[in-house]
Amino acid sequence: MSYTYDRDDEDSFTMANFRDHVDRATFDQILEMDEDGEHDFSEPLVFNFFDQAEETFGKMDEALARKDLDTLSQLGHFLKGSSATLGFIKIRDSCQVIQQYGHGQTVDGLSEPNEAVCLGKIKEAIKTLKTDMVDLEKAIKTFFDDAK
């Protein structure tokens, strides 16, 4: 994948951080669908998510450039659902921020009528989302490589 992000030390991420990104109970449910200890079901499912996320990031960047809060909210909601299904909690949480501010609401559900504030919070959330996606993908690749 080709996610871009600002990070000084790419190698600082370790498998110890896996639990910070993944709800293991949810992820384990996905893994239970595999047969014979092979990851023929889970691995393609997870890597399809990364492809889907990359495409969604492009759409988010376009919507952000247009200042299209409604589309940003929809895209945040879409990616939030996919990430939650797989147990990717940091991704889910950033998407929640995008969804809420796209609706003109804070994460707590309070009204935020200032469009510039909403766009700023979304821009920050997208940056965090992309960074977290790089970290998550690195951990997931390591997880599946170690399982082989």
CATH of domain 16-31+39-147: 1.20.120.160
Question: What pLDDT sits at residue 14?
Answer: 45
Residue 13: per-residue pLDDT: 39
pLDDT at position 78: 97
Instruction: Output the pLDDT for position 77.
Output: 98
pLDDT at 38: 87
C-alpha–C-alpha distance, residues 99 and 22, integer Å = 20
DSSP 8-state symbol, 109? S
State the pLDDT at residue 9: 38
Q: Whose structure tokens read 């023929």?
A: 40
pLDDT tens, position by position, 41-62: 999 999 999 999 999 999 999 9
118 Cβ contact list (under 8 Å, min separation 6) = 69, 101, 102, 104, 112
What whole-number distance in Å separates Cα of residue 139 and Cα of residue 78?
23
- Give 19's DSSP letter: H
The residue written with tokens 């247009």 in the block is 66
Contact 137, 53 (CB under 8 A): no
Cβ atoms of 45 and 30 closer than 8 Å? yes
If the chain, 148 residues long, is cut into consecutive pieces of 10 residues, what is the mean pLDDT of each piece? 35 55 90 88 96 97 98 98 96 97 94 95 97 92 82
